[in-house]
């Protein structure tokens, strides 16, 4: 009899990164990286605006567990806004969080 394990995807925050660096510092590094990629001043401003707005509403998110982070992102995205604004929020947060994962500020374990 064979027992198969169900594959699960676990997301957790990088323990050592969150203790030594704030989301503000991570955003600063992210914006510098995007500037080096040649992003326009308007795009950089929009990245900063949307990421800061998220963390203003959920100030401890980078120090929280992954489930709470996921729930708050969903809550943030569930706001009743115009489609274009929704898409901007989605794109800017997605790119910021993906970059944070690639730089090990957030960690995804499969």
Residue 28 domain flag:
yes
Residue 43 domain flag:
yes
CATH code for the domain of 80:
1.10.150
Q: Which two tokens stand for residue 41?
A: 């001043």
Residue 62 domain flag:
yes
What confidence category does residue 65 fall into, taking pLDDT thresholds of 50, 70 and 90?
confident
Residue 53 domain flag:
yes
Task: Report the number of secondary-structure helices (H) and strands (E) in the chain.
Answer: 5, 2
Residue 75 domain flag:
yes
9 Cβ contact list (under 8 Å, min separation 6): 108, 109, 110
Residue 83 domain flag:
yes
Number of structural domains the chain divides into: 1
Instruction: Kindly state the average pLDDT of the residues 3-31.
Output: 64
> What is residue 35's predicted lDDT score, i.e. its pLDDT?
98
In whole angstroms, what is the distance from residue 54 CA to residue 48 CA? 10
Tell me: pLDDT of 3 over 80.
no
**9 touches 110 (CB < 8 A):** yes
> What is residue 107's predicted lDDT score, i.e. its pLDDT?
67
Q: 47: domain range?
A: 24-109
Tell me: pLDDT of 83 over 80.
yes
Pick the range with the lowest mean pLDDT from 25-34, 57-66, 71-80: 57-66
Tell me: pLDDT of 68 over 80.
yes
Structure letter (DSSP) for residue 77: H
Residue 54 domain flag:
yes
Pick the range with the lowest mean pLDDT from 64-68, 76-80, 95-99: 64-68
In whole angstroms, what is the distance from residue 95 CA to residue 62 CA? 16
In whole angstroms, what is the distance from residue 17 CA to residue 78 CA? 29
Q: Which two tokens stand for residue 76?
A: 């943030």
């Amino acid at each position: 009899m064979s027992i198969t394990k169900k594959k699960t995807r676990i997301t957790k925050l990088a323990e050592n990164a969150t203790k030594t660096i704030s989301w503000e510092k991570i955003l600063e590094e992210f914006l510098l990286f995007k500037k080096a990629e040649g992003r326009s001043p308007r795009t950089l401003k929009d990245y900063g605006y949307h990421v800061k707005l998220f963390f203003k509403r959920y100030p401890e998110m980078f120090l929280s567990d992954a489930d709470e982070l996921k729930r708050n992102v969903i809550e943030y995205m569930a706001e009743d806004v115009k489609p274009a604004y929704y898409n901007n929020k989605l794109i800017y947060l997605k790119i910021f969080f993906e970059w944070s994962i690639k730089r090990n500020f957030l960690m995804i374990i499969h």
